Structure 1
Amino acid sequence: MSETTPRLLRALAGETLDRPPIWLMRQAGRSLPEYRELRTRAADFITFCHNPEMAAEATLQPMRRFPLDAAIVFADILLIPGALGQKVWFEAGEGPRLGELPLVEAMAEQVEASTGRLSAIGETLSLVRAELEPDRALIGFAGGPWTVATYMIEGRSSNREVARAYAYAHPEELDALLAVLVDATARYLVMQAKSGAQALKIFESWAEGLAEDVFERIVIAPHLAIVEKVRAAGVTVPFIGFPRGAGALVENYARTVPVQGVALDTQASAELGQRLQAGGKTIQGALDNLLLREGGSALDARVDQLLAQWSGGPYIFNLGHGVMPDTPIAHIARVVERVTGKPAKAMAAE
């Protein structure tokens, strides 16, 4: 790849760079005052996500503030259940709510139509790609099937005990639901790539607490199937897989799922990341989002430690989870400048 290729794509191709690319999970929105102002213009969160002009603006806002190397499309992992016929809404201050789980057979009949119902996200990607500088990459994403299924089964965010019990008590029913989500997710990601996404990420946000055999069945197998279906459709952009909370099982994930990048959560050790790099994977993440919020010398020291331990191989600087809403902008700017050597832009409104 040439030096004009976005730094993120070079890292995902296996290059060890003079400095790692940086982007932050949940960088689009929440912590930025310009996002909070923009959010007031939409009737509700789902409407916001399906408005290409507003979602594109939310995607680009952090790119204007900070010298980040990649943008991630503003969307949500729970758009797919809505596209498959399950009612989805967000309660202010409480998070997502989902209606009664439809019959799997009924949702299977909606898979093809679901992609069209998500076309606004493709429009958002096209708008962002047209405005984003060519040396900055654009990331598309979807939720991992198991994570999305936990919300669909439980109807809200929780500790996921009901969904995990369901996985043991009703394995065939869960497998059928995951199969529908695999098909819908693969189609959705193909559409995103065709709309301008240059990398695709699978967020398996709730991969923790699973026994090895269950992890292989409900996380690894669906991710493998998604990647295979996307590749069969002719899409060649790189994948980043994020089995958050998987612990030691992430190594089996990295060996089995043909993703180019593996995102690591806060608990990842230096040695784990180095083993993944030695095995041919680009690694990403691990900075604690709580530490980003707190700031200070401990944050500086951890940033330097991560850079020292992983910059000898292909590496993307990121968090181990998403930016928290009350994270001071100055802390984000400090980390980005520490990684890139470039200061954030001053903004008129804070």
Structure 2
Amino acid sequence: MGDRKPLLAVLNGEARVVPPIWLMRQAGRYLPEYQELRAKAGSFLDTCYNPQTAARITLQPIERFGFDAAILFSDILVVPDALGQKVWFESGSGPRLVPVESDSDIAALAESFDIEKLSPVFETIDRVKGELPKSVAFIGFCGAPWTVASYMIAGRGTPDQAPARLFAFRRPEAFARLIDILADASIVYLIRQIDAGVETLQIFDSWAGVLPPLEFERWVVAPLKKIIGAVKTARPGVPIIAFVRGGATHLPGLAERLGADALGLDTAIDPVWAVKEIPAGTALQGNLDPLALLAGGAALDREIDAILHCFAGRPHIFNLGHGVLPETPLEHVAQLIGRVRRTGN
């Protein structure tokens, strides 16, 4: 299995001369074929819930670039949608939700979770798994409770997640209830993704870095540990990547505390520091700056080579430190993949 699927080999602790590569947001707006499909598909949420279209989008970057993994095309906000919160996307300005503001709002969520609303996602997985090349791994995902809650409370993305942070400080018991609801829903959702056919999972905590240490422990570490523990108990052997963006000095030992098999590193993490401070048994993923990929040319080559040099000899998955930017030229992605795959030649 490991030799056939390089990404799974690395997640099982194997250091490879040529690291497997995939990119966060590899299926998305920088691809003309994605733009063509999206123009016909209706709203963004409708696209996520259309198995035929979502499967095609998931497969597009594999067909064009030959990445070592496909990641399910969906969104972290399908979970609050399945919890009964109204979710929609406005063109050019991102997600919108009717904000969670009261105890009664939270109580209503607890009674409303409908996993069957996400059945189109599981159908997408079923469609994709039969079309992937045998060497390509299939990644499922969800958003971490803290990150998802930050959107649910603010009703949109905000620069510093201040609405959710204030809510958590002022009403910690109510916020803890919301986090528990999201953790429980995420467990069910991830297990169903595994049963539908994904082979590994990534949990995105994209806004973890805005929290002070005590709040980080309470709203990031505790719920992630709960989710990963429950999923691994239910489906042993499925590796899990934790992408705790902004985790910084929390990262040494974090994978062991969470029960994760790998840590995704954001752009701000120094690879030299990561290799020195994070235990060798933890696979690491990352962490090219998306702006370097946008820039291309000699600057991109330098950044790629520095990352490859730092992570040589330990389990490493080449990725970005955040998602592909929409204006990224296709030839720069091809340049990246070609240079990574020349490693060791």
TM-score interval for Structure 1 and Structure 2 normalised by the shorter chain: over 0.9
> Are the equivalent residues in 1 in contact too, given 2:99–2:154 (CA < 8 A)?
no
CA contact 1:16–1:312 (8 Å) conserved in 2: yes
- Which stretch shows the higher mean deviation, 249-258 or 210-219? 249-258
Deviation at 1:245, TM superposition (A): 1.0
Matched, 1:262 2:263: yes
Report the Cα distance in structure 1 between the residues aligned to 2:36 and 2:26, rounded to whole angstroms: 16
Distance 1:257 1:210, change over 3 A: same
Distance in 2 of aligned mates of 1:317 and 1:258: 21
Residue 320 of structure 2 corresponds to 319
One-letter amino acid of the counterpart of residue 104, structure 1: I
- Partner-residue secondary structure (3-state), 1:283: strand
Give the drift of 1:275: 3.5
What's the CA shift string for 1:114-169, capped at 9, x where partnerless?
x2111111111111110001110000000010000000000001121121121211
- Partner SS state of residue 262, structure 1: strand
C-alpha distance in 2 between matches for 1:275 and 1:108: 43
Q: Which residue of 1 aligns with 2:303?
A: 302
- Cα distance in 1, alignment partners of residues 84 and 42 from structure 2: 21
Deviation (angstroms), 1:327: 0.4
Q: Please give the root-mean-square deviation of Cα atoms over the aligned residues, in Å.
A: 1.4
Distance 1:176 1:168, change over 3 A: same
2:122 aligns to what? 122
Residue 254 of structure 1 contacts residue 276 of structure 1 at CA under 8 Å; is this kept in 2? no
Q: Where in structure 1 do 4 or more consecutive aligned residues deviate above 4 Å?
A: none
Which residue of structure 2 aligns with residue 43 of structure 1?
Answer: 42
Contact 2:252 2:278 in 1 (8 A): no
Give how far 1:312 is off.
1.2
Deviations 1:154-197 (A, max 9, x none): 00011211211212111111110000000000100000011111
**Cα distance in structure 1, aligned partners of 2:46 and 2:82:** 13
- Contact 1:67 1:340 (C-alpha < 8 Å) held by counterparts: no
3-state secondary structure, aligned to 1:202: strand
Paired letter, 2:151? Y
Identity of aligned residues (%): 46
CA distance in 1, matches of 2:116, 2:27: 24
Larger mean CA deviation between 227-236 and 191-200 belongs to: 227-236
Superposition TM-score, scaled by structure 1 size:
0.94
Alignment of 1:72-87 (within 5 A): 72-87=71-86
Structure 1: gaps spanning 5 or more residues: 343-350
Distance 2:236 2:60 in 1: 28
Contact 2:143 2:205 in 1 (8 A): yes
- Report if aligned partners of 1:31, 1:324 keep a CA contact under 8 Å in 2: yes
Q: What is the CA deviation profile of residues 70-107 of structure 1, one whole-angstrom value per residue up to 9, with x for unaligned ones?
A: 00000000111111000000111000000132622221
- Please identify, of 262-271 and 23-32, the stretch whose mean Cα deviation from structure 2 is larger: 262-271
| Matched position secondary structure for 1:37 | helix
The separation in 2 between residues aligned to 1:266 and 1:233, in whole angstroms, is: 33
1:34-61 residue CA offsets vs partner (Å, 9 max, x unmatched): 0000001112010000000000000000
> Is the aligned partner of 1:67 residue 2:66?
yes
2:248 aligned residue: 247
Q: CA deviation at 1:108?
A: 1.3
Answer yes or no: is the 8 Å Cα contact 1:277–1:313 preserved in 2.
no
> Partner amino acid for 1:154?
A
Give the C-alpha shift of residue 277 in structure 1: 5.3
Q: Deviations over 1:219-246 (max 9, x none)?
A: 0100000011112323431000011012
Tell me the residue number matched to 1:103. Answer: 105
Is it true that 1:147 corresponds to 2:147 in the alignment?
Answer: yes
With the length of structure 2 as denominator, give the TM-score of the two structures. Answer: 0.95
CA contact (8 A) 1:277 1:314 kept: no
1: CA distance between counterparts of 2:336 and 2:272? 23
Q: Secondary structure at the match of 1:26?
A: coil
Structural mapping, 1:166-177, within 5 Å: 166-177=167-178
The CA deviation at 1:2 is 4.8
CA–CA distance in 2 between the matches of 1:264 and 1:166? 28
**1:70/1:206 Cα in 2 relative to 1: closer, same or farther (>3 Å)?**
same
| Preserved contact between residue 252 and residue 279 of structure 2 (Cα < 8 Å) | no
Residue 284 of structure 1 contacts residue 317 of structure 1 at CA under 8 Å; is this kept in 2? Answer: yes
| More divergent stretch after superposition (271-280 vs 27-36) | 271-280
Q: 1:139 to 1:290 in 2, by over 3 A?
A: same
The answer as to whether partners of 2:263 and 2:282 remain within 8 angstroms in 1 is: yes
Aligned to 2:26: 27
- Aligned-partner Cα distance in 2 for 1:90–1:241: 26
Q: Report what 2:219 is aligned to.
A: 218
Is contact 1:276–1:283 with CA below 8 Å preserved after alignment? no
C-alpha contact (below 8 Å) 2:261/2:283 kept by paired residues: yes
Cα distance between partner residues in 2 of 1:70 and 1:236: 18
Secondary structure of 2:3's match? coil
Task: State the secondary structure of the residue aligned to 1:312.
Answer: coil
